[in-house]
Structure 1
Amino acid sequence: GYGPCQPDWLQCCNSAKWLTVHVGAFVFLAGMQVTGLKAAAARPLEKQFGFTSTEIGIMAAMYDVGAAIFGFIFSFFAAHTHKGKWVATGSILMAVGSMIIASPHFIYGRYQYSAVLNVSSICDETVSGSCTSGAISSSSVQLIILSLGQLISGMGSTIIWTIAYPYLDENVSPTASPIYIGVFGALASLGPGAGYLLGGAFLNFFVDWPTRPTDINSSDPQWVGAWWFGYVLSAILMAMTAVPLLAYPKHLPEYEKNKEKRAKIAIGKSVIDNNYGNSIKELPKAVKELVTNKVFLFVTLGATTEGMTVGGLSTFIPKYLQTQMNISSSRASFLSGILVVIGAASGMQLGGVVVRVKRLRPVQIAKFCYSVGIAGIFCALLILFNCSDVPIAGVTKSYLANNTSQSLTNMNLVSGCNGNCNCYISNYDPVCGIDGISYASPCYAGCSYSRINGTSKYYYSCSCISKGNTSATMASQSYDAVRELCPNNCKFFIPVLIAISLSMFITYFNSVPASQVIMRCVPESQRCFALGINWLVLRLLGSVPGPLIVGSIIDQSCILWNEQCGRRSFCWKYDNYLLSVLLTVVLVTLKTLTAVFFFLAWYFF
């Protein structure tokens, strides 16, 4: 109820099942906002504000900074207070953070793409070669606003795993806890899937909705979708979720009975409950007691390396798929949602089911985590599957009509055939020539004019495209190029999807068991704080550097940067092979460390 207002008809909701429903709604929406919507928005934000992948990684990392620092503080003081009120506060904070993230769309002007800036897409020797300075705007302020929104969202989200998690666990039987926590975890992983799907659907709308341009569509490289839609929706739903959460009592009816059951199975270095959390002076003693618990220490380190994997992959999965498979942002986000639902949600749910069905003791759960960690190493190797790069003249191919690959270090989009065309890479608008080679734009292909036939746009008199190396079928075409990238005919489309899905499954398969080990190896009053310490280390050493590392890897594999007036911003095209190799090296290293840490936790039990 709400203060003195506690009607009898509302008491039917005063149960673990209804608590799971309402906390689960919060968890679901949080996953949707901080993972799915954030990842779906990454590529559109790069194009609209000129961010690099590293800058997107910085923005994503600020969420984890907020979660880590405030999770540590909140969890210490929440042990002896009303956890339900804390959970409702977390939902409100996430609503505020979501609106702040969406705010740059309303504060700054309309998105300016090349057609709006009157940059010619065809070869025009009469156009002045001066820089279009109006296209340039500082992205630092937008980055600060977005990072602030992520920081506040992290403050709210941290309450889920440091306070809501033990709040649910302490109000159910310890034997039933893995099932409830498994449902809790499944909703946490279904949320990102919903975020990817919704985010992908919203990207089909133009960023300046309800305006819709007539000269570009959602498959155009210059298109930026309405990334902000999802954040506005999330803010509204988060505010609504806080209402029922505020009504729950400090403890549900069977709390004391469940507390006695948990005390009987507590295992670890510290089985004496010192009831820390009443004073800030007890903080150093509480920290020392936890960090000297070797089981807790190594499980936390194992979770940290897994957090680095999740933090990096979850932020950039849509972009990775878009790069490898040459598909639109919307479709990449949709596929990411399917992969997360299949991999992450099923992994988290099955992890809880295995612990429950097998009735594993804490030491057996630690061994189970180690075994799953070993399997994760082999799954990471599957990321080596990659799609071949589309040949682009001046980037991966020379402008000469032959099959000789051009060294990436000698990339030069300007050639004798387009030297007088005054082309700009900011007007990236790829076309597929009848010679089977893609060109960065009709201008770089040396095309003089174009015609529209239905939904397709064709180009003619392209001086850089030779019909000498074309097939009889292509040579018979009246046009020289069509507005699209040449197909890459990816042979590993399905293996790439399976590799990512399996990696997500294995990572989340360990999530519930690892959390169960932590809560069973520390005293009752220390569980919130133990999860807070775990959250602090996992975030600061795992989730914060994860997006930065993966973002840096993506930037290092870039072979065609967008440049305006000498300023480099986001990347148009990546080296698929280099990207998959670098990502595999990082993932295998992290998965090996995970297995080692879980082995040590099992060894010291």
Structure 2
Amino acid sequence: MADSKQISTDGHSDLETDCEDDGGPCKWGPFKPDFCQRFRKPGWVLFCLCWVGGLQGMLVTGFVNVIITSIERRFEISSTETGTIVSSYDIASAICLIPVSYFGGLGIKPRYIGIGVFTLGLGSFLFALPHFTTGLYIVDNAQDTICIPGGNATTTCDATTTYGSISNYMYVFVLAQLLHGAGSSPFYTLGVTYLDENLPLRSSALYIGTYYSCVIFGTALGYLAGGELLNIWTDVGAVDTSSLSITPDNPKWVGAWWLGFVISGVIAFLISVPLSGFPRALPGSSKYRQEKESEVYSGKKKAETAIADASQKHAEAEKPLVKNIFHSTKLLLTNPTFMFLNLAGASEAIIVGGFSTFAPKFLESEYSLPAARAAQYVGLAVIPAGGGGTLLGGYLVKRFNLKVRGILRMCLVSTLSVCVLGLGFLTYCDNVPFAGVNVRYQNSSSSLTVEYLGKQLDSTCNSNCACTEEDYHPVCGRDGLMYFSPCYAGCQVLQTGDVTRYNNCSCIDSNATDYMAEFTSCDSSCIWLPVFLPLFALMMFFTFIVSMPSLTATLRVVSEKHRSFGLGIQWLVVRCLGAIPGPILFGKMIDLSCLLWQKRCDGDGSCFFYNNKLMSYYLMALGISIKGLSALFFFFALLLYKKSPNSSKENIIEADSKLDIAATDTSANGIDNPVFYNSTEKISVGTEPQVITSTTLKTKL
């Protein structure tokens, strides 16, 4: 018992130190199982957070982005609208970031994270709900889409009737994404700071880099697993798949887009329980706090900053909560390096958000790939590039012990590299010739020139067929052209079998005797996919290699007491200026390249056919422009960075949150300069730092 009361040379008892280091036991309310206490270690926290990060990446960035094309087809919505759905995640996250990061920073961080994971699970179940509340997905009857000579064109639209469009399910997806965003808001603020507070400076970057890498691996898993799920027909168990006349290669195919969300919701509920039981702090955390103050940004004079930091803590304790928030905000907003890092992060978020959302759709359109295969190709590019880049970025900071200036130079070089690699979008593929959209009817195979003609689906060869644009049933003719439907191809005879085929097609110039058109899209002869994918992987590599170092720089230029709140402000800026407009902006660029829109009773629906050249040029111009802005912001962050005086061996004042004594009456001590000291061994007397023991403290007083 006597040992527990022993007084150390710095004036603190071992019991007091234990209370500072130990945030309490693992518990769930009054339930404190003994066997759980062995898990109060940074490694176990990292293990749980890796599950959280992997789930969030798999769900929000993986599954959501993979099924974009599928829900556009199934629920008749445009890319701009799906971009809005994706951005809703960041809207909710931005709204919740400030209160969650501030109050969560004052409270028990793991508990806030556990509640967030539970909310994420609720959003997952809501996202899958439209599948269960709509009827079976019925592909248009092949018999109804053939040419009927002398028939009358019919329409299901009535100008006097108000229609309840299936596209209104967009708002259910938006609400689900709002829950996803609210639930994820603590992950990258409280989760990162909780790890940082309980780790030494050299290990912090590697642990956080591992956490972020799991997000990338989760994203890649979401692409790969989501792609496999899209090979399963959407109405699992309700339809005999052997009776279907289409395959996953068909543009009308809709896979089991909802299944991944049900699985993710179950996993989220299971993870939230152990994570919410971790204590406020882990044993041994207090000794890591002082070493992380040496690189905090300071624009003041050294002596002024040192004295202000030592006395400010007592003043802040007396301020009302609102004044504390405004004071913390002012300090962060007047830190130019911090703010330019925020703007660079916003630029990066536009790129990451836009390409992660629409990269599968881009590959699907550009290289005539089925949705499942396009998603898997993106996943295969993201696994080594995104995950490896994030890990390597964290490792380089640790391996070379990079300071803030070195980190910012590294970010600048990596960002400029992506600007050069962005020229890879010049490897676009010409469109498959589509009769009445980008080529004229009855062109010979030797003179097919893909060009924008404007939609002219009606022709003399199908003028007597009573065709309607409500029935998009694309067929590939033996002449190499794709047609909007068998009706627009002038086909009058239906041949049933494993693959639906047609004959007697008046618009198709072919001598084939077995069949003249097939219910599928025409294959592309483009050879650029093996060239583009490695370039895209390198773009992702140099993009993600910046993420961990830039986060480390942010943590280093902000004081320890403001880190949780600072990350909250950073994520707010990144989401409002980057992640929210990014998918909408990219979706709009893709919509601008659309050549053929779905016709609904209440307006246009999803896009059926894009101009590949325009899509590539639009995305290349947008990507290089945004990356150029990001490089400019990193440059200004480097230019305006000022190192904290705390890093110098001179003018050292290490003020604790509990300032024991501030002796300013120098006449009583016989000292010409003021004395400040606390529980640490270093003290500044005037301008010369001295090492003080408990004996010399008494002598000086």
Query: So what's the TM-score if we normalise by structure 1?
Result: 0.94
**Equivalent residue runs for 1:210-225 within 5 Å:** 210-212=237-239, 213=241, 214=243, 215-225=245-255
Taking the TM superposition and a 5 Å limit, the aligned residue runs for 1:492-571 are 492-565=528-601, 567-571=603-607
* 1-structure distance, mates of 2:559, 2:200: 16
User: For residue 267 of structure 2, what is the aligned residue in structure 1?
Assistant: 237
Alignment partner of 1:420: what SS?
coil
Query: Partners of 2:354 and 2:289 in 1: how far apart?
Result: 38
Counterpart for residue 417 of structure 1:
461
Which residue of structure 1 lines up, in the alignment, with residue 212 of structure 2? Answer: 185
Aligned to 2:126, which of 75, 100, 124?
Answer: 100
1:11 pairs, out of 19, 37, 41, with 37
Alignment partners' CA distance in 2, 1:27 and 1:301: 24
* Cα deviation 1:354-387 (Å, max 9, x = unaligned): 1111110112111111111111211222122212
Code of the aligned partner of 2:265: A
Change (3 A) 1:127 1:223: farther
Q: Verify: 1:257 aligned to 2:287, yes or no.
A: yes
Task: Determine the structure 2 residue equivalent to 1:337.
Answer: 379
Paired with 1:480 and 1:503, the residues of 2 have a C-alpha distance of: 43
**Cα distance, 1:510 vs structure 2:** 0.4
Quick check: 1:64 aligned with 2:90? yes
1:476 shift after superposition: 5.4
> Structure 1 residues 104-113 or 190-199, which shifts more?
104-113
Q: Is the 8 A contact 2:430 2:450 kept in 1?
A: no
- Equivalenced residue count is 595
The 8 Å contact of residues 155 and 468 in structure 2, kept in 1 or not, is answered as no
Paired residues of 1:79 and 1:525 also in contact (CA < 8 A): no
Tell whether the 8 Å contact from 2:433 to 2:450 is kept in structure 1 after alignment: no
2:147 aligned with 1:138: no
- 407-416 or 189-198, larger mean C-alpha shift: 407-416
* 1:422-461 map, 5 Å: 422-452=466-496, 455-461=498-504
Cα deviation, residue 306, structure 1: 0.4
AA paired with 1:339? A
- Distance in structure 1 (CA, Å) of the matches to 2:522 and 2:98: 51
Structure 1 residue 479: deviation in Å?
Answer: 2.3
Calculate percent identity across the aligned residue pairs.
33
Match of 2:226 among 199, 203, 207: 199
Any conservation in 2 of the 1:220–1:429 contact (CA below 8 Å)? Answer: no
Greater mean alpha carbon deviation, residues 524-533 or residues 189-198:
189-198
Does the 8 Å contact 2:475/2:483 carry over to 1? yes
Instruction: Quote how far apart the aligned CAs of 1:181 are.
Output: 1.0
Instruction: Tell whether the 8 Å contact from 1:394 to 1:406 is kept in structure 2 after alignment.
Output: no
Equivalent of residue 575 in structure 1, options 608, 611, 619: 611
Alpha-carbon displacement from aligned partner over 1:181-214 (angstroms, at most 9, x marks no partner): 1101110111111111121121122222212352
Does residue 1:73 correspond to 2:102, yes or no? Answer: no
Looking at structure 2, the residues matched to 404 and 43 of structure 1 have their Cα atoms a distance apart, in angstroms, of 28
Distance 1:546 1:217 in 2: 33
Q: Which residue of 1 aligns with 2:414?
A: 372
Q: Secondary structure at the match of 2:342?
A: helix
In structure 1, how many angstroms separate the alpha carbons of the residues matched to 2:322 and 2:437?
Answer: 60
Confirm or deny: 8 A CA contact 1:367 1:602 kept in the other structure: yes
Shift of 1:444: 1.4
Deviates more, 1:198-207 or 1:300-309: 198-207
Query: Contact between 1:418 and 1:444, CA under 8 Å: does it hold in 2?
Result: yes
Do the aligned partners of residues 126 and 171 (structure 1) sit closer, same or farther apart at CA in structure 2, a change above 3 Å counting? farther
Instruction: Tell me the residue number matched to 1:470.
Output: none
Structure 1 residues 568 and 4, CA, compared in 2 at 3 Å: closer, same or farther? Answer: closer
SS at 2:604's partner residue? strand
Deviation at 1:249, TM superposition (A): 0.7
Moved more, 348-357 or 257-266: 257-266
Deviation at 1:592, TM superposition (A): 0.3
Cα distance change of structure 1 residues 269 and 85 upon mapping to structure 2, 3 Å threshold: farther
1:201-245, CA deviations, whole angstroms, 9 ceiling, x for partnerless residues? 211222222123523332222221111111111111011001110
In the alignment, the residues of structure 1 paired with residue 411 and residue 434 of structure 2 have an alpha-carbon distance, to the nearest angstrom, of 45
Give the secondary-structure state (helix, strand or coil) at the position aligned to 1:323.
helix
**Compared with structure 1, are the counterparts of its residues 565 and 145 closer, same or farther at alpha carbon in structure 2 (3 Å cutoff)?**
closer
Aligned AA (1:327): L
Deviations 1:318-359 (A, max 9, x none): 111111111111111111211211221111111111111111
Q: CA deviation at 1:79?
A: 2.0
Which residue of structure 1 lines up, in the alignment, with residue 675 of structure 2? Answer: none
User: Given the alignment, which residue of 109, 133, 148 partners 2:135?
Assistant: 109
Letter of the 1:490 partner, please give it. Answer: C
Point out where structure 2 has 5 or more consecutive residues left out of the alignment.
Answer: 1-25, 642-701
Given the alignment of the two structures, is residue 316 of structure 1 paired with residue 361 of structure 2, yes or no?
A: no
2:508 maps to which residue?
A: 465
Q: Is the 8 A contact 1:269 1:521 kept in 2?
A: no
TM-aligned CA deviation for residue 51 of structure 1: 0.5
Contact kept in structure 1, 2:338 and 2:557, CA below 8 Å: yes
| RMSD of aligned residue pairs (Cα, Å) | 2.1
Residue 161 of structure 1: SS of its match in structure 2? coil
The yes-or-no answer on 1:208 pairing with 2:252 is: no
Instruction: Note the C-alpha offset of 1:518.
Output: 0.6
Which residue in 2 is equivalent to 1:472? none
* SS, match of residue 144 in structure 2: coil
| In 2, Cα distance between equivalents of 1:228 and 1:90 | 22
Question: Secondary structure, in 3 states, of the residue corresponding to 1:153?
Answer: helix
Cα distance in 2 between the residues matched to 1:580 and 1:39: 19
3-state SS of paired residue (1:120): helix
CA distance in structure 2 between the partners assigned to 1:136 and 1:491 by the alignment: 45
d(CA) in 2 for partners of 1:73, 1:7: 31
Of structures 1 and 2, the one scoring higher in RCO (CA 8 A, sep 6+) is 1
Q: Are the equivalent residues in 2 in contact too, given 1:131–1:565 (CA < 8 A)?
A: no
Q: Aligned equivalents of 1:141 and 1:564: distance in 2? A: 13
Contact 2:477 2:516 in 1 (8 A): yes
CA–CA separation in structure 2 for the residues paired with 1:561 and 1:177: 51
Q: Which residue of 2 aligns with 1:163?
A: 190
* 8 A Cα contact 1:179 1:356, kept in partner: yes
Cα distance between partner residues in 2 of 1:247 and 1:540: 32
